[in-house]
Amino acid sequence: MVTTNLNRIDRSAESNQAVGLSHTASAYGIGAAVAILFNTILAWLKDSYDSLNTAMAHTLGHHWTTHGVVVVAVFVLVGYVLSRRPGDLLSGDAPIYALVISVAGAGLGLLAWFAFI
């Protein structure tokens, strides 16, 4: 049984064919990218509107707790919805690139927000 799995892996590596992500992994990769960008936008909004920050603080006891729960909910919801859609979402390594670009963009966005505003 183990030999069969190893042979399958060896054959795919020798054939030089790109092995992409599964449909579900792509869906949740896109969900993570969306959640990362949403996290940044929510941080901007909370800092811009004291009423939103106060409402989030009253919801679960602290605004960062509510923030985290909402971001995780966005990740799960987007990943779940996209994983149920038929067909390819993004081909090849595109979900990985989307994730890397969203992390870089969100990081730069937060840096700019807190450094200059």
Write out pLDDT tens, residues 65-84: 999 999 999 999 999 999 99
Q: What is the mean pLDDT of residues 99-115?
A: 94
**Nearest-10 Cα torsion for 63, 67, 68, 72:** 160
Instruction: Confirm if 72 and 10 have CB atoms less than 8 A apart.
Output: no
Does the reported pTM lie above 0.85?
Answer: no
Domain annotation covers residue 44: yes
Residues with Cβ < 8 Å from 66, sequence gap 6 or more? 56, 57, 59, 60
Domain with 60, as residue range(s), is: 21-116
Q: What is the mean pLDDT of residues 57-65?
A: 95
How many domains does the chain contain in total? Answer: 1
- The Cα–Cα gap between 81 and 71 comes to 15
Domain annotation covers residue 57: yes
Q: Is the pLDDT of residue 12 over 70?
A: no
